[in-house]
Amino acid sequence: MHLHILGICGTFMGSLAIIAKQLGHQVSGSDANVYPPMSTQLEQQGIACLSGYMPEHLQPAPDLVIVGNAMTRGNPAVEYLLNQDLPYVSGPQWLREQVLRGRWVLAVAGTHGKTTTASLLAWILDYAHLNPSFLIGGVPSNFGISARLTDSPFFVIEADEYDTAFFDKSSKFLHYRPRTLILNNLEYDHADIFPDLAAIQRQFHYLMRIVPQQGLVIHNATQPALDRVLEQGCWTPREAFATAQGWHERAIDEAQGGFEVWLGDSQQGEVQWQTLGAHNRANALAAIAAARHAGVPVPVACAALSAFQGVKRRLELRGTVRGIQVYDDFAHHPTAIAETLKALRHQAGQQRILAVLEPRSNTMKLGVHQHTLAPSLQGADAVFIYQPAEQNWTFPTQGLNAHLFANTETLLHALLHEVRSGDRVLIMSNGGFANLHQRLLDAL
């Protein structure tokens, strides 16, 4: 069967393409924005990716068009498939009907940490010889690929609350029907589709309604917004983390990352790893709890985490030149930015951190977070902000050693002038950022 995927270079749709090919389908796709790691991954898998959304890409007609949620009415490919009455479906619906039905789905939802937590969980299950399938919005270094399909009953998925398609405005995660559900956190985001936090909470409430009684909900006890979701109704057993009454951790060495795992007043195990940050220790607790629900003993999960190699674009060290470390991170929300800087500060000590930010997400572009961005960057010694001319709000620089740039050429030049041996350069974007990371390393 020939499947053509519109928006194939998105993190979800690119992973879906890999699974479709592993099922034996002929897979092609189109996208307007092509950048690593997804573009590289698709190329390695032998999946053709066409540039742009031309009607010719759908000639001759594929057997089915899978439509990504970035597609809108007015898109030439969308208008063509509607006019020609081509069969089409959303990615989440196709995944549910063709792959997830009959499997034990372990889903990771929340505003932050989905990719890392799903990667941790998939790796724990794999380490325990459960051979899980997974679909993750990033590339876990332990696997080197963002998705795979096995004959295991277990399927780990990053469960996004973003809408499904232009013809299906429910959240994507409602299609997955998880048996094990992690609720990492909840803040206002996706301002292009949700008017307020309550609208997002409503989608999370719908998600709670489809988790079976024999399932498990694992939730972050420090999140009032999640508490309000649970208060609306929960028909499933629950376990909390980040609380002394539930799963919690005690750091052994903050700089090195070691920590003890506790459940209530009982120590369950110990992890020694190189992954930085308190937020990642919380992610680990959630993954341990979910893996235990699938039958993995906690000591085995802890041993797996000690062998965890991280996730591409999550505080990933891209290279060190002349004593200057260049990091790549996907952070695009003030909370995630602050946590990432805090984690890097523990490693950097008194050495300087230069933060480079592209406010690229739809929520950022709308200026929703403009008043919380400056506080989130306080942990950096200097801040370099990419602010293109079409952005209709000005980045607030109060209290920061901040510099604004209308293009990446002048930003790169300023970085090269400022950076010195011992510095950590943290480049944050949820896009390709004009390959700034590699351009900086090459210039150095």
Among 262-271, 355-364, 366-375, name the most confident range.
Answer: 262-271
Contacts of 99 (CB under 8 A, 6+ apart): 19, 23, 133, 149, 155
The span from the CA of 94 to the CA of 63, in Å, is 13
pLDDT at 193: 85
Confidence of residue 116 (pLDDT cuts 50, 70, 90): very high
Rounded to an integer, what distance in angstroms lies between the CA atom of residue 145 and that of residue 153?
20
The first and second tokens of residue 63, run together, are 């057997």
**pLDDT value, residue 256:** 64
Which homologous superfamily does the CATH classification assign to the domain defined by 2-91?
NAD(P)-binding Rossmann-like Domain (3.40.50.720)
Higher pLDDT, 388 or 57: 57
CATH topology for the 102-306 domain: UDP-N-acetylmuramoyl-L-alanine:D-glutamate ligase (3.40.1190)
pTM: 0.85
CA distance 134 to 437: 28
| Mean pLDDT, residues 40-54 | 88
- The segment(s) of the chain belonging to CATH 3.40.50.720 are 2-91
**Percent of the chain surpassing pLDDT 90:** 67
CATH architecture entry for 316-443: Alpha-Beta Complex (3.90)
pLDDT(57) > 90: yes
Residue 363 has pLDDT above 70, yes or no: no
Q: Any bridge partners for residue 425, and if so which? A: 326, 354
Kindly report, as residue ranges, where domains of CATH 3.40.1190.10 are found in the chain: 102-306
Rounded to whole angstroms, the Cα distance separating 244 from 263 reads 8
Q: What mean pLDDT comes out for the span 159-180?
A: 96
What is the predicted pLDDT for the residue at 122? Answer: 98
